[in-house]
Copies of this chain bind each other. A is one copy, B any other.
Amino acid sequence: QETTSNSFGNGIINSVAKDSSFSIKFGARFQSLYISNWKNSELEGFKSESSNFLIRRARLKFNGFAYSPKLEYKIELGLSNRDISGASKFTSDAPRYVLDAVLKWNFYENFVLWAGQAKLPGNRERVVSSGNLQFVDRSLLNGQFNIDRDLGLQLHHKIDLGNQVVIKEAFALSQGEGRNVVTGNLGGYQYTGRLEVLPFGEFKDYSEASLERYETPKLAMGVTYDYNDKAVKTRSNMGEYMFTENGLHRTDITTFFADFMFKYKAISVLGEFAHRDADNPIAIEEDGTPTGAVVNVGNSFNLQAGYLLDNNIEFVGRFTNVHETIAGAHFPNLNQYTLGVSKYISKHKLKVQTDISFNDNPDPGMNQVVYRLQVDLHL
């Protein structure tokens, strides 16, 4: 057995070459999750519906720089069945094992060009690593409207306006079919633009919970506009394929996000708004008959806040509204109320999180209470 000067939470390997020709951080993580659902039926009253133990996420991560510090790489692999699900003929009927495989080249001043598969510059909650959340999992806004990962190019840029004000811009040109697709582009491309303003300087704005306990208020605000030309899936580059008898229904889909992250001392607040629109949200056959598939056009709003005690126990609350405006949508008008408690034993690297949610639906027969308990280890 060797001894290493690395410490817990910084990777299994974390090295830099003496000749500065590369660096590597190789990490692993997994989440053990327990979920319990209760249904609030008018007829049967409040009753237990189902429970679920699962390995929610398990990952291997490789990142660092290669050849030059100006060329960074990231590879992230999913291991759990939830991580790798989604096989279809569009993925060679193979599991979707690779999450990220991307090169980031700082080719000039503050410009960085990304090539490969990576998260798009979409809503903040999505871009926050699933290992840095202050609830057991992301909100329903994210579940229904996020634009996840895709293949293509991204250009990232940063402007230091002085007086602490920082502006960040990102533009992505993507295939628009989602991650791990091998069959190529089916409609047009997907175009994503994002603008961020950090009026009080840079901070850990892509990590939830106020673990840094900033002495001064910190704020990040962002907007994203995403246009998926001739998209073929119900949630832009996510969701189900809209098959027709003779191929696929194609419609232009736009997704808009506005979000902010605020951190000050023990307090953290994250707010997000999402809006999706489509030219022809109802998938139809050539003769005009609806196929049953619809694009989830509509709006969503998410607001969450946390207060971190000195013992690194955090109390969090979240309100989410999902309002999908098309007939037959999954969430016609859902309000979700969530309360949670997290114990950060070693920041986000070892933590126990629990939360309870009440889903309030227009149809009370669909109302649900969901309890979740999760342990997260991140080497």
Interfacial residues, chain A to chain B (CB-CB below 8 A): 1-10, 12-19, 21-24, 26, 28, 30, 32, 35, 50-55, 58, 62, 66-67, 71, 73, 75, 77, 79-82, 84-87, 91-98, 101-103, 115-117, 151-152, 174-175, 180-185, 345-346, 349-350, 375, 377, 379
Contact = CB atoms under 8 A, between A and B. Distances in A.
Nearest first, the 8 A-B pairs at minimum CB distance are A52-B184, A85-B92, A8-B21, A53-B151, A8-B22, A32-B116, A7-B21, A4-B15
Contacts of A97: 79-81, 84, 95
Nearest to A173: B53
Contacts of A13: 12-13
> At the interface, is chain A mostly helix, strand, loop or mixed?
strand
Contacts of A82: 92, 182
B1 A15 contact: yes
26 contacts: A2-B5, A2-B15, A2-B16, A3-B16, A3-B17, A5-B18, A9-B22, A12-B24, A12-B26, A28-B62, A32-B117, A51-B175, A51-B185, A53-B151, A53-B175, A53-B185, A54-B181, A55-B98, A66-B350, A66-B379, A80-B98, A80-B180, A81-B96, A81-B182, A82-B92, A84-B95
A101 to B, nearest CB: 4
A189 B174 CA distance: 45
A154 to B, nearest CB: 12
A70 to B, nearest CB: 12
Contact of A101 (B50, B55, B151, B346): B55
A9 B151 CA distance: 25
B12 A66 contact: no
Contact of A87 (B1, B93, B102): B93
Contacts of A115: 32, 375
A131 to B, nearest CB: 14
Given A92-B81, A94-B81, A2 B12 contact: no
A184 B91 CA distance: 26
A58 to B, nearest CB: 5
A202 to B, nearest CB: 22
Contacts of A94: 81, 84-87, 95
Given A93-B85, A379-B22, A15 B3 contact: yes
Contacts of A22: 7-9, 379
Contacts of A93: 85, 87
